Amino acid sequence: MNTRRPFYEILFQCPGGVIAKRRKELRMSQEELAAKTGVDRAFISNVERGKRNPSFGVVASIARGLKIRMSRLTGQCEQCVTRLESSDAAQPHCKVIPVGKDEHGDR
């Protein structure tokens, strides 16, 4: 019997893991991120928990609020998906971009 999770479940979970880790690294609350991005705090919470799938525009707004390029955020999501596809992990263990590594000036 196949016990692997469907790809879409992994895909929905990864952006939230990356966003939550970056937000916490910046010591930013969901309320602060919501105020910076115009995205509802409850929606951010649901994205972070993998309960909602953000649109391209929302991901762009959140990336800007987290002071990282959207390409870095989505790149980390891709790495996370790859790791989770090859494991039976229940939760994403996604790397976070350390504070100061990006302010739209990649290192």
Question: What is the phi/psi pair of residue 49, to 5°?
Answer: -90, 0
- Containing structural domain, residue 78: 7-85
pTM tops 0.85, yes or no:
no
- Tally of residues, the chain: 107
Q: Is residue 56 part of a domain?
A: yes
Contact in structure between 78 and 20 (CB atoms under 8 Å): no
Average pLDDT over residues 15-42: 95
Residue 105 DSSP class? S
Query: 104 lies in a domain?
Result: no
| CATH number of the domain that residue 66 is part of | 1.10.260.40
pLDDT band at 104 (very low <50, low <70, confident <90, very high): very low
